[in-house]
Amino acid sequence: MVSAQDNSVSAIEWRDDALWLLDQRQLPLEEVWLEHQEVGAVVQSIRDMVVRGAPAIGITAAYGVVIAARGRRDQDAYTWKANLEQDIQDLAQSRPTAVNLFWALDQMRAALAKLSDDEDPIVQLLREAKKIHRLDVAANHAMGRLGSAVMAGVSSPAKGVITHCNTGSLATGGYGTALGVIRSAWQQGLIDRVFADETRPWWQGARLTAWELAKDKIPVTLMADTVGATLMKQGRISWVIVGADRITANGDVANKIGTYNLAVLAKHHGVRFMVVAPTSTFDMDLSSGEDIPIEQRGPDEVVSVKGHRLAPENIEVYNPVFDVTPAELIDAIVTEKGVVERPNLAGVSSLMKKHSLH
Just list the catalytic residues: 245
User: What whole-number distance in Å separates Cα of residue 68 and Cα of residue 39?
Assistant: 5
User: What whole-number distance in Å separates Cα of residue 18 and Cα of residue 138?
Assistant: 23
Strand order, beta sheet including 253-256: 282-283, 246-248, 253-256, 322-325
> Contact 176/145 with Cβ under 8 angstroms?
no
> Contact 238/272 with Cβ under 8 angstroms?
yes
Phi/psi of residue 289, nearest 5 degrees = -65, -20
Q: Which residues contact 307 (CB under 8 A, 6 or more apart)?
A: none
Q: ∠ CA 195-281-51 to the nearest 5 degrees?
A: 65
User: What whole-number distance in Å separates Cα of residue 209 and Cα of residue 196?
Assistant: 7
Residue 282's identity, in one-letter code, is F
Q: Which residues contact 5 (CB under 8 A, 6 or more apart)?
A: 183, 187
- Strand pairing report for 332-335 and 12-15: unpaired
Q: Which residues contact 61 (CB under 8 A, 6 or more apart)?
A: 42, 46, 91, 92, 94, 101, 104, 105, 108
Other residues' Cβ atoms within 10 Å of the Cβ of residue 78? 7
DSSP 194-211: EEEE--TTTTHIIIIIHH
DSSP 310-334: -S-TT-----BSEEEE-GGG-SEEE
Q: Burial of 238 by CB count in 10 Å (0-12 exposed, 13-18 middle, 19+ buried)?
A: buried
